[in-house]
Amino acid sequence: MNEQGALPELVCPAGSLRALQAAVGAGADAVYLGLKDATNARNFAGLNFDDAQVREGVAHAHAHGAKVLMALNTFADARDAGPWRRAVDKAVALGADALIVADSAVMAYCRDEHPQLRLHLSVQASATSHAAIEFYRQRYGIQRAVLPRVLTLQQVGNVIRQTDVDIEVFGFGSLCVMVEGRCALSSYATGQSPNNAGVCSPPSAVRWHEGSDGVQARLNGVLIDRYAPDEPRGYPTLCKGRFEVRGERGYALEEPTSLNTLAILPELIALGVKAIKIEGRQRSAAYVEQVTRVWRAAIDRAGADAQRYAVQPEWSAALARHAEGQQHTLGAYDRPWR
C-alpha cells in the first residue's frame, strides 16, 4: 500500500538542457528527458539530449537535489533491439535515476543486466488496473507506474490501495481520447505509429493549403480543419479537427483543451499519489518554468494546509496561457458516467 497524505513528487518535462534547468530552478523534484533517437517517443528535430547534455543535465539536477528520469518509452524494433539495449546501458552510465519504459523486452533487459536500476512503467504501457501493474512489478521489478488519463479519482484510489507500486498521474498538459500512444486514427491517416513516430501528426504528413477563403489543414491528404484568414491555428491533429456531422461543423471527437487537476490536488494527495506529472517535452523552456512554478506553489500550499487549500487566481491565469484553446478540464477524473 502507498503511504497516504505524503506530498507527491513534481515531475516536469525537459525537451532541452535549458528546459531542464528551468524546471529545476522552478522547483521540480524530478525531470524527464529522452535521447536523440527512436528510443524516445518525442523524437523531434531540435529536441532532446545527446550524451554530453544528459551528463550536464544530470549533474545540474543532482546538484540541486532533483532526479533525472530517462524516457525509453517506445517499443523496440523487432528487427533490431540493439538501440534500446544500448540506450539502457547509456542511461546507467550517464547517471539517470530511473528509466521510464513501456516494452517488456526492454524491461527484461534492465532486470537481467542492471538489476539495481529503478524502473517506471510508462503510460505507453496502458496499465489501468492493479492486476496489470502487479504483473509488471512481479516479473520486471517495476517500482512506479504512470497511469493513463482515463481513470476516475475513485479508480485511481482503488489501484493505489491494491498495489505496492508507486503511482504517478498526469496533473497538467494535453489530453488524449485514444489509448495512450496507440491512436488508430493517426496510424490510419499517416501510416506511422504515434508511439514510434513520437507524435500524433508527424511533420512529414502535415500540409497547410492557403486560399482566398482561409487555410486548410490536412494530415497526409485528409482534410481535418479549415481556418479563417485571421483565425488562430493549432497544430493539426485528427481528434481535435473540426468536421461536419449532420450538417453542423464542430469538434466531433475532442475539443482543444488541457488537463488541469489543480482543483483536486488535495484529493490526489489524500489518495496516496506518489508523483504528479506535467506533460510537455515538446514545449518551450518558458512553458516549463511557468507551469512548474505554479505547481510547486500549489503542492506546497496543499501540503501545508489541505483544509484551507484553494486554487489561486494567478495560478489559473498562468496555466490558461499555456492551455490548448485556453480551456481547462478535469478529464476522466470528473467523469459523470462509470
* Domain chopping of the chain, boundaries: 9-175+257-334, 184-251
CATH code, residues 9-175+257-334: 3.20.20.70
Calculate the CA dihedral of residues 102, 104, 105, 109 and round it to 10 degrees: 90
Residue carrying C-alpha cell 540506450: 87
Phi-psi region of 327 (alpha: psi -120 to 50; beta: other; left: phi over 0): beta
| CA–CA gap between residue 192 and residue 217 (Å, rounded) | 18
Going residue by residue through the chain (338 aa), what tens digit of pLDDT does each one get? 445 558 999 999 999 999 999 999 999 999 999 999 989 988 887 899 999 999 999 999 999 999 999 999 999 988 999 999 999 999 999 999 999 999 999 999 999 999 999 999 999 898 999 999 999 999 999 999 999 888 899 999 999 999 999 999 999 988 776 666 667 788 888 888 777 766 778 888 889 999 888 899 999 888 999 998 888 777 788 888 888 888 888 888 777 778 899 999 999 999 999 999 999 998 999 999 999 999 999 999 999 999 999 999 999 999 988 877 667 788 778 765 55
**Burial class (CB within 10 angstroms; exposed 0-12, middle 13-18, buried 19+) of 308:** exposed
Strand 30-33 vs strand 67-72: parallel, antiparallel, or unpaired? Answer: parallel
Task: Check residue 11 and report its DSSP letter.
Answer: E
Q: Which of 55, 56, 54, 67 is nearest to 11 (CA)?
A: 67
